[in-house]
Amino acid sequence: MEPDHYHEPVLLNETTGFLLEKANQDIAIKSNYISSKGFKRVFVDCTLGGGGYTRKILELTGNDTAVIAIDRDKFAIEYSRQVLSKYSSRIIFLQRNFSEISSIVHDAGFEKIDGITMDLGLSTYQLNHEEGFSYQRNTELDMRADKTQKLNAKDVLNTYSERELEEIFRKFGELKYSRHIAKEIVNSRKSRKLETTFDLVEIASQKIPPRYLNSDLAKIFQAVRIEVNNELKNLEKVLNDSIELLNDGSRIAAVSYHSLEDRIVKNIYRSSKKLKVLTKKPVLPGAEEVEKNVRSRSAKLRAAEKSSEIILSKNKYKDKILR
């Protein structure tokens, strides 16, 4: 596959810019400091995908800088290993879940990190080539980013109770017809189990008015995908653990693609007494990027900096976390 077809990175300069702007100032101060494994700095790319962010970080830094590159999808690791081979001595590739960030960093031989990025959601490759993610292609209802995991979309749709399904559609899809869709799925599976993405599309189509169909199908698929991959809990965990791992003055930059993710990022940044928020409003892609890459249209970037000062005025956000 051609490098450009795996995934077109979104908000690439903005995201890596946040990370490196500060880190490049600090490196002058740390000129005699060796962090670990001979590197002065280490960044973590939690969502390697096609390697766009990792490549940019490596391009803009020197041999004193390493990247721990994580993805739970083995295809992302295999692909990026190839296209980033010229940087191999500076990358630690790991097929892991980013929710295990603390042990990942420590196992890689580092105590603290100098910056962390995450670019949430799916890669174009996953949408176009892996099974279950897209409602526009008829494939098996899988939706696992990590194929060694047991739970898949078929299990969710064929074994969860009507109430559990309704809750998933409501909470993770913010879907208006949650109850109707859940009921129709449970009715339908009495005569025939759901096997393919088009089985789910067919059931949903019976309950959703045609003009809402595309946007609601996207929500239904999003909801099941979040459940299968435990996406929101993983995000809460990686954000909270990352704050502890960052060196003072280092930054975190997260790109999200729907309001549930964005809310989690925003609230965790705001409520942490150790973070100074750098983006009062999220950074959005410009018209040119959206025109070139339609998948970027819902992206929101939020960045923050670890601060050694205790930030007391943030208490008012404490109770709002993760509601």
Ligand X SMILES: C[S@@+](CC[C@H](N)C(=O)[O-])C[C@H]1O[C@@H](n2cnc3c(N)ncnc32)[C@H](O)[C@@H]1O
The CA–CA distances, whole Å, from 254 to 47, 138, 242, 304 equal 10, 31, 11, 9
Nearer to ligand X, 52 or 173 (CB): 52
Strands of the sheet with 300-306, listed across from one edge: 91-94, 65-70, 41-45, 113-119, 246-256, 300-306, 275-277
Segment contacting ligand X by CB under 6 A, of 119-127, 207-215, 217-225, 258-266: 119-127
Segment 45 to 74, residues that bind ligand X, using CB under 6 A: 47, 49-53, 70-73
Segment contacting ligand X by CB under 6 A, of 22-30, 95-103, 245-253, 283-291: 95-103
Of 61, 65, 97, 197, the residue at the interface with ligand X (CB under 6 A) is 97
Residue with tokens 């990027």: 289
173 binds ligand X (CB under 6 A): no
User: Binding string to ligand X for residues 130 to 149, with x set by CB under 6 A, is what?
Assistant: ---------------x----
Instruction: Look at phi and psi of residue 144 and say left if phi exceeds 0, alpha if psi is from -120 to 50, else beta.
Output: beta
The C-alpha atoms of residue 143 and residue 61 are separated, in whole angstroms, by 36
The C-alpha atoms of residue 71 and residue 81 are separated, in whole angstroms, by 12
Taking the complex as a whole, the smallest distance from the CB of residue 248 to ligand X amounts, in Å, to 26
What would the DSSP string read from start to end of 286-306?
A: -HHHHHH-GGGGG-EEEEEEE
Taking the complex as a whole, the smallest distance from the CB of residue 209 to ligand X amounts, in Å, to 31
Taking the complex as a whole, the smallest distance from the CB of residue 98 to ligand X amounts, in Å, to 4
99 binds ligand X (CB under 6 A): yes
Nearer to ligand X, 50 or 173 (CB): 50
Nearer to ligand X, 156 or 253 (CB): 253
Which residues are within 8 A (CB) of 270 and not within 5 positions of it... i.e. 6 or more apart?
277, 314, 317, 320
The C-alpha atoms of residue 204 and residue 212 are separated, in whole angstroms, by 11
Pairing of β 246-256 and β 300-306: antiparallel
Segment 263 to 292, residues that bind ligand X, using CB under 6 A: none
Residues in contact with ligand X, counted by CB under 6 A, come to a total of 22
Nearer to ligand X, 69 or 246 (CB): 69
242 binds ligand X (CB under 6 A): no
The residues binding ligand X (CB under 6 A) are: 7, 9, 47, 49-53, 70-73, 76, 97-99, 119, 121-123, 145, 234
